[in-house]
Amino acid sequence: MRMRRLYVFDTTLRDGEQSLGITLNAQEKLEVARQLVALGVDIIEAGFPASSPGDLAAVQLLAREVRGAVICGLSRAVPQDIDACAAALRDAEAPRIHTGIGVSPVHMASKLMMTPEQVLEASVAAVRRARRLIPDVEFYAEDAFRADPAFLCRVLQAVIEAGATVVNIPDTVGYATPWEYADLIAHVMNNVSGIERVVVSIHCHNDLGMATANSLAGIRAGAGQVEGTVNGIGERAGNTALEEVIMAVYSRRADFGVETRINTREIDRTSRLVSRITGVPVPAHKAIVGSNAFSHASGIHQDGVLKERTTYEIIDPETVGASGSRIVLTARSGRHALRHSLEQLGYQPDAATMDALYQRFLVLADQKQEVFDEDLHALMGEKPAVDRWLVLKNVALSIDGSARARATVTCTVDGRTVTGTSDGDGPVDAVFRAVDRLAGVGNTLLDYNLRSVSRGKEALGNATVKIRLEDNGVLVGRGISTDVIEASAKAYVDALAKSRTVSPPKS
């Protein structure tokens, strides 16, 4: 089957930024844009230059600094907007003007106060003006789904003749259903003369929770470009979540018949960056990038995934850059999950011990929302599973008021208590450097994750560290404490301590 190219248009920095409470400065937009290039998106909509001096400056900065993707600016179908867009994009490697106007009866009559013929004339004039300034022009027919299909086709045909290179058919208010949206895209593909010369783009909102489904329906109907945002942020209930569409077409290639240039292993990193910079948390249950996306709490699910991952995981976590599957020990966990977790800690209980241990585990799990490694050590008699050559004893920090920090760490190394001090860019970096000095094990930090596992002022911090040794072995360490720095130190030491007890995986 011949695969069509699907272009990915990211509007996190424009439509996503319009979300209530999100205002990004130029440097923040630049940081996100560079990560979007690493992700492999084709077009980055950098902002709406005519809307404010700040947005104008941000688009100018991205146009000047970002390479590897088309940089796009939004404009209304008015001369001043188009001119501002072109000026902002002057230094772009590959600029695009995204101009358009409302085409539904309610938009034309109530917002624009224009007749359909006036809207048609304004559309053509806007595209012509933009095309004289920049060769790549995308036209958006705002509220296209609620427009009269015949009038929509007239407008699209006219702007194609005027020089548009991309035509965008948005479901601006998220009112469509997948079958209706697919029918609209198919209608346009079959009734607009010259449509084969342009890229048909889709832009869906999530007001009824169908943005991803509608986008996928539009792709199957023939659209060549999908627009959306990282984590689905945007106006009202948000936009199409790009990570969901990307992984749907990646996982179901044969059904959609399209391919992208997305590096899926950058999805998780991109999601976390956007969440951090915008301050909008990703819900735990969010598809693809939520913290629970690859977590298993049900005993039946845990048993299945431990026997064969694909029983309950249709996506390998590493495909999207996630650290891996996670077995969550709760009262619903079975013996298989408990044994697996104990073996990860180094314990090898026999069958008789396991039966008694499981009953004690259930009592503890009924008392707690989640059972952690420290709880398992307590269940095993509060003794370490194996003699560790490296044990954390104490962590002390001093911070001089800037980003620099100094950590003093005491460990037991091969039975000898030693203390080391190191500076770092922040307390966690300083602690890791101090431990490195004491341990003397060459490694590369691959991933560090810290999360809260309970509520209130005594909430526990659960840290996870993933390192690669010089011989290419990969080890994972975990630590938990009410002090997040101590939790981080425990996790790092836990990973290093396994270097003499865990064999590197065979290549």
- The per-residue pLDDT for range 73-92, each reduced to its tens digit, is 999 999 999 999 999 999 99
pLDDT for 401: 64
- Residue 383 confidence (pLDDT) above 60: no
pLDDT above 50: residue 63: yes
Rounded to an integer, the average pLDDT of 90-104 is 98
Using CA atoms, how far residue 415 sits from 238, 325, 381, 440, in Å, is 56, 34, 21, 15
Mean pLDDT to the nearest integer, 163-167:
98
Stretch among 31-45, 175-189, 241-255, 472-486 having the lowest mean pLDDT: 472-486
Q: What is the DSSP letter of 258?
A: E
Rounded average pLDDT over 283-306: 83
Per-residue pLDDT, 133: 98
Q: Which CATH superfamily is domain 390-500 in?
A: Alpha-isopropylmalate synthase LeuA, regulatory domain (3.30.160.270)
Question: What's the rounded mean pLDDT across residues 28-48?
Answer: 97
Q: Is the pLDDT of residue 453 over 60?
A: no
Q: Which residues contact 426 (CB under 8 A, 6 or more apart)?
A: 403, 404, 405
- Residue 479 confidence (pLDDT) above 90: no
Q: Is the pLDDT of residue 460 over 60?
A: no
pLDDT of residue 503: 41
Does the pTM exceed 0.75? no
Span 239-250, average pLDDT: 97
Banded model confidence at residue 242, pLDDT cuts 50, 70, 90: very high
pLDDT at 420: 93
Average pLDDT, whole number, for the chain?
A: 89
Mean pLDDT score, 154-165: 98
Q: What is the rounded average pLDDT of the residues 165-185?
A: 98
Question: By the 8 A CB rule, do 238 and 214 touch?
Answer: no
**What pLDDT score does 402 carry?**
61
Pair 16, 278: CB distance under 8 Å: yes
- Residue 240's φ and ψ, nearest 5 degrees, are -55, 130
Compute the average pLDDT of residues 35-39.
98
In angstroms, how far is CA 89 from the centroid of its own chain? Answer: 27
The CATH code of the domain at 4-278 is 3.20.20.70
Which of 130 and 298 is assigned the larger pLDDT?
A: 130
Residue 266 φ/ψ region, left for φ over 0, alpha for ψ in the -120 to 50 degree band, beta for the rest: alpha
Lowest model confidence (mean pLDDT) among 18-32, 246-260, 280-294, 373-387:
373-387
The predicted structure's pLDDT at residue 295: 77
Mean pLDDT of 49-77: 96
Higher pLDDT, 404 or 16: 16
Name the β-bridge partners of 164.
none
Length of the chain: 507
The stretch 31-37 carries a mean pLDDT of: 97
Beta carbons of 182 and 218 less than 8 angstroms apart: yes
Would you state the pLDDT for residue 469?
84
- CATH 3.30.160.270 location in the chain: 390-500
Q: CB-side exposure of 198: number of CA atoms within 13 Å?
A: 28
Which pLDDT value is given to residue 507?
41
Segment 67-73 shows an average pLDDT of 98
The whole-number average pLDDT for the span 467-496 is 83
Q: Characterise 373 by phi-psi region: left (phi > 0), alpha (psi -120 to 50), beta (else).
A: alpha
pLDDT band at 174 (very low <50, low <70, confident <90, very high): very high
What is the layout of strands, in order, in the sheet containing 390-399? 390-399, 404-413, 416-425
Please report, as a single letter, which amino acid is at residue 230. Answer: V
Q: Name the amino acid, one letter, at 104.
A: S
CB distance 62 to 24 below 8 Å: no
**Contacts of 489 by beta carbon, 8 Å cutoff, 6+ apart:** 392, 395, 409, 431, 432, 435, 479
Residue 1: CB partners within 8 Å, gap ≥ 6? Answer: 254, 257
Domain with CATH 3.20.20.70 in the chain: 4-278
In whole angstroms, what is the distance from residue 184 CA to residue 202 CA? 11
- Residues of the chain with pLDDT > 70, as a percent, come to 93
Could you tell me where the DSSP H helices lie in 43-200? Answer: 53-65, 79-88, 105-106, 116-133, 149-162, 178-191
pLDDT at 386: 52
pLDDT score of 250: 96
